Amino acid sequence: MTQPPQTQQGQELPVEGTLAGLDLLAITTIGPVLHVRLNRPTKRNAISDRLIAQLHTAFLNLPPDTRAVLLSGEGDHFCAGLDLSELVARDARAAVAHSRGWHAAFDAIQFGSVPVIAVLHGAVIGGGLELASACHLRVAEPSTYFGLPEGQRGIFVGGGGSVRIPRLIGTARMTDMMLTGRIFDAADGERFGIVNYLASTGEGVAKGLALAQKVAANAPMTSFAVMHALPRIVEQSPSEGLFTESLVSALASTTPEAQERLQAFLQGKAAKVVKS
């Protein structure tokens, strides 16, 4: 087994236990960051039943000292979507169960214990776009292209895309993608709102890792609130949202870590916000 590469941000170390046995994922740690790579490069990291199960297992079994996850894809593509070679005839009940399995895996990413930063390159198609939309931040290299070809293949999104993707790019753009097969690139992705950061070719992982390490330094309760409370507040009425905000704000600001950080700022020991 080859040793994981050393990056400028730290050495990647192999994992042990349950995560080490997930053969369709390459998983390493870099300090408090867990790096999860989709590891089916010859299949363009297409999502098979085994891969979705292993993703679910990985995010349910994060090492206790993990503070952020970096998600990327081996080879030339992030993820080309559903592995169509595994499509089998299913009755409606089995098809619903299959879709719900994807929902459970992606819910474990979006509503898990730590923030997830996705690094995108090459194809981010169908289920790959659904996977990316379940992450909290997305970095894209110039080779990245997005598509939802389900409409041309006689199927419909089933991995949570109809819920998550319109919240990022709008219903009209998703409608266009599904009805016409429209493809858009990384620059469009940033303009449309699904890409948070653009990176140069080959620099996506380094950019994503830097962001993950920055996020890992946040107070855990703050990250938890952003991940779990913010998307729910957005769905509430204004009065309900404001009340929920008060409760979450009170919980976050009264933790010992928050009190220490606030005192450090007041004593001039913490950096002030400046324009970079």
- Are 68 and 203 in a shared domain? yes
- Are 224 and 119 in a shared domain? no
The answer to the question of residue 1 being in a domain is no
What proportion of the chain, given as a percentage, has pLDDT over 90?
A: 80
Distances (CA, A) of 30 to 33, 109, 139, 189: 5, 19, 18, 28
Domain CATH code at residue 189: 3.90.226.10
pLDDT band of residue 4 (cuts 50, 70, 90) is very low
Residue in the block written with tokens 């499509």: 87
Strand ranges inside 92-196, DSSP E: 116-120, 123-125, 137-140, 145-147, 184-185
- Are 212 and 127 in a shared domain? yes
Higher-pLDDT residue of 18 and 259 is: 18
Q: Which of 16, 86, 141, 150 is catalytic?
A: 150
Kindly tell me the burial class for residue 246, based on how many C-beta atoms sit within 10 Å of its own C-beta (0-12, 13-18, 19 or more).
exposed
The answer to the question of residue 245 being in a domain is yes
Average pLDDT on 36-45 reads 97
Amino acid at 56: H
- Are 181 and 254 in a shared domain? no
Average pLDDT on 25-32 reads 97
Q: Is 245 a catalytic residue?
A: no
Task: Report residue 256: phi and psi, to 5°.
Answer: -55, -40
Query: What is the tens place of the pLDDT at every residue in 132-155?
Result: 999 999 999 999 999 999 888 888
Q: Which of 130, 235, 240, 245 is catalytic?
A: 130
Q: For position 265, what pLDDT does the model report?
A: 65
Average pLDDT on 28-55 reads 97
Over 70: is that where the pLDDT of 273 sits? no
Q: For position 268, what pLDDT does the model report?
A: 75
The number of folded domains in the chain is: 2
Over 70: is that where the pLDDT of 9 sits? no
End-to-end CA distance of the chain: 41
pLDDT band of residue 276 (cuts 50, 70, 90) is low
Distance CA 173, CA 133 (A): 14
Over 50: is that where the pLDDT of 211 sits? yes
The answer to the question of residue 273 being in a domain is no
Average pLDDT on 72-76 reads 98
The answer to the question of residue 274 being in a domain is no
Distance CA 68, CA 60 (A): 14
- Are 60 and 120 in a shared domain? yes
CB 195 within 8 A of CB 138: yes
Distance CA 98, CA 209 (A): 32
Q: Is 12 a catalytic residue?
A: no
Over 50: is that where the pLDDT of 5 sits? no
Distance CA 272, CA 226 (A): 21
Instruction: Please tell me the least confidently modeled range out of 78-87, 113-122, 187-196.
Output: 78-87
Segments forming the whole domain that contains residue 190: 6-216
The answer to the question of residue 275 being in a domain is no
Distance CA 261, CA 185 (A): 40
- Are 175 and 224 in a shared domain? no
Q: Model's pTM, two decimal places?
A: 0.92
- Are 35 and 128 in a shared domain? yes
- Are 101 and 10 in a shared domain? yes
CB 72 within 8 A of CB 78: yes
Q: Report the DSSP pairing between strands 116-120 and 137-140.
A: parallel
CB 77 within 8 A of CB 44: yes
Q: For position 256, what pLDDT does the model report?
A: 84
Average pLDDT on 119-140 reads 98
Q: For position 3, what pLDDT does the model report?
A: 40
Mean per-residue pLDDT over the chain, rounded: 92
Query: What is the tens place of the pLDDT at every residue in 214-271?
Result: 999 999 999 999 999 999 999 999 999 999 999 999 999 888 887 787 676 667 766 7
